[in-house]
A and B are shown apart, each in its own frame.
Chain A
Amino acid sequence: ILNVEQSPQSLHVQEGDSTNFTCSFPSSNFYALHWYRWETAKSPEALFVMTLNGDEKKKGRISATLNTKEGYSYLYIKGSQPEDSATYLCAQGNNNDMRFGAGTRLTVKP
Chain B
Amino acid sequence: DADVTQTPRNRITKTGKRIMLECSQTKGHDRMYWYRQDPGLGLRLIYYSFDVKDINKGEISDGYSVSRQAQAKFSLSLESAIPNQTALYFCATSDLGLRYEQFFGPGTRLTVL
Contacts and interface: CB of A to CB of B under 8 A. Distances in A.
Interface of A: 4, 31-32, 34, 36, 42-46, 49, 51, 89, 91, 93-103
A95 B43 contact: no
A89 B107 contact: no
9 smallest A-B Cβ distances: which pairs? Answer: A93-B98, A100-B42, A46-B101, A43-B104, A100-B43, A32-B99, A102-B42, A44-B104, A101-B42
Contacts of A89: 42-43
Contacts of A96: 56
B40 A102 contact: yes
B100 A49 contact: yes
Interface residues of B, number: 25
A34 B101 contact: yes
Contacts of A102: 40-42
Contact of A103 (B42, B97, B107): B42
A49 B99 contact: yes
Nearest to A47: B101
A51 B56 CA distance: 23
User: Mostly helix, strand, loop or mixed at chain B's interface?
Assistant: loop
B98 A4 contact: no
A79 B99 CA distance: 29
Contact of B45 (A4, A95, A97, A101): A97
A103 B38 CA distance: 12
A31 B44 contact: no
A49 B44 CA distance: 18
A99 B98 contact: no
16 contacts: A4-B42, A32-B99, A43-B105, A44-B43, A46-B101, A46-B103, A49-B99, A49-B100, A49-B101, A89-B43, A93-B99, A94-B98, A95-B97, A95-B98, A98-B102, A100-B35
Contacts of A103: 42
